[in-house]
Amino acid sequence: MQYRILGEPMPVVVCDLNSGESMITEKGSMVWMSPNMKMETSAGGLGKAFGRMFSGESMFQNIYTSQGGPGMIAFASSFPGSIRAVEIHPDRPVVVQKSGFLASEQGVELSVFFQKKAGAGFFGGEGFIMQKLSGHGTAFLEIDGYAVEYDLRPGEQMVIDTGNLAMMDATCSIDIQSVKGIKNALFGGEGLFNTVVTGPGKIVLQTMPISSVAASLSPFFPSGS
């Protein structure tokens, strides 16, 4: 599979496949393709399907396969930002925000990422439910806004507003930290909790999560009666 990413800040990734090669997506993000691409919808097993549903994604995957010769398929981002290609290896799984997965080669497996500490799951909010990408192949991730990368050393930490964490290596650990001080928590405008990521590993942060954009725009829309 060969690919090219075009058109930021509303990007699309165009994938050129050899005969028999396949791509998977869960979001219906296919925007155009050659006529010899065959689509098949699959749940991929009941346990995996419910796991994807729990993480906020569809229970089903669309599998596109090139038949009878080379094929082409394109997947588009749903929000202004960028598309990142990430190489997944058995010894290097990654964790992404629940809406971050765009498409991948068929050798990439998706599962729910469970936090080691219960508090992270209870207090992290909707944006804290994440997906783990493992297996082998190229995955394409959707980044909201601009992507900023950091390589954390062992024990090094980064405090992040929930929703701004787009991706991290599975070697990193993650937890929730309450904002200190009652006045800061109630009137600081930054929420009650922050995400704390501890290295070692790479993290990718996004500058404009769609949840923050929605919250900023909500006062300008009339509420329902």
Stated as kind and residue range, the H or E segment containing 217 is helix 210-217
Token output for 71:
């094929």
What average pLDDT does the segment 88-92 reach?
Answer: 93
Tens digit of each residue's pLDDT (9 = 90 or more) over 132-186: 999 999 999 999 999 999 999 999 999 998 789 999 999 999 988 776 544 444 4
Question: How much is the pTM?
Answer: 0.81
Spatial separation of the C-alpha atoms in residues 139 and 84, rounded to whole Å: 8
pLDDT tens digit string along 26-84? Answer: 877 899 999 999 999 876 544 454 555 554 555 678 999 999 999 999 999 988 999 99
Closest to 108 measured CA to CA, from 90, 96, 91: 90
**pLDDT digits 0-9 by tens, 166-178:** 999 999 999 887 7
Rounded to whole angstroms, the Cα distance separating 22 from 177 reads 41
Q: Are 159 and 195 in contact (CB under 8 A)?
A: yes
What dotted CATH number matches 2-214?
Answer: 3.60.160.10
61 contacts 104 by C-beta, under 8 angstroms: no
Report the mean per-residue pLDDT for the chain: 82
Name the DSSP class of 89.
Answer: B
What would the two tokens of residue 106 be? 């068929």
Model confidence band, residue 189 (pLDDT cutoffs 50, 70, 90): very low
